[in-house]
A = this chain, B = another copy of it.
Amino acid sequence: MKALETRQTIVAAADKLIYERGFEFTSFADIAQVVGISRGNFYYHFKTKDEILDAVIERRILDRAKMLDDWVEAGQSPKHCIANFIRILLMNNQKIRAYGCPIGTLFSELAKLNHPAVSGARDLYDLFRIWLVRRFAEMGRSEDADALAMHILARSQGAASLANAYPQEPFLEQEVKQMLAWLDAVADGATIET
């Protein structure tokens, strides 16, 4: 098999495992078993475990960036784009209940480990943050666009955390409804306390 293919297969498997089990608890042996290659073969594709982490983060960034860009290029209104962002929580409902937010939980773990790749995880946050700021600015809220973006980011993170803690309750759906109502209010010119 081509090296690039194998590499991508490894990254995909590592992405899934790191999401489900966390980075520190995902070993080379685990990934190798899922991919179906020998443990020793890893070091042909990745020199260190951190390299796999970097590749996984890059993969997540590219994946999310594409999703966000698709919404914009589909010609949807800024408000509709932000609503789509909020509804990500519903799209990934089951996984969030089981494993939490793929971005938040990764950042949290890397921050605790003082891991160098924490900056990459922050890039993931920045990707959404900057995208949201642009959408709010397009809605005519240039002055407080960043505050609005951070607010909705935080609420998404919080909703994901509690949905993870109480997976059997319909909490996520309620919170999404409230966030969409908040978005309506913002679109109607509601102010935000600063």
Contacts and interface: CB of A to CB of B under 8 A. Distances in A.
Interface in A8-23: 20-22
A131 to B, nearest CB: 15
Interface residues of A, number: 42
Contacts of A121: 165
- Which of A155, A181, A194 has the most CB atoms of chain B within a 10 A radius of its CB? A155
A174 interface: yes
B122 A165 contact: yes
Given A154-B155, A161-B157, A194-B174, A100 B105 contact: no
A37 interface: no
Number of this chain's copies in the complex? 2
A111 interface: yes
Nearest to A26: B112
20 contacts: A21-B112, A99-B111, A100-B112, A105-B108, A107-B165, A108-B161, A111-B164, A121-B165, A125-B162, A147-B174, A150-B162, A150-B171, A150-B175, A154-B162, A155-B155, A156-B158, A158-B161, A177-B194, A178-B192, A181-B193
Contacts of A43: none
- Which of A122, A151, A162, A166 has the most CB atoms of chain B within a 10 A radius of its CB? A162
A68 to B, nearest CB: 18
B165 A113 contact: no
List the 6 closest pairs (A to B, CB-CB), nearest first: A158-B158, A154-B158, A157-B158, A157-B161, A22-B112, A154-B162
Contacts of A21: 112-113
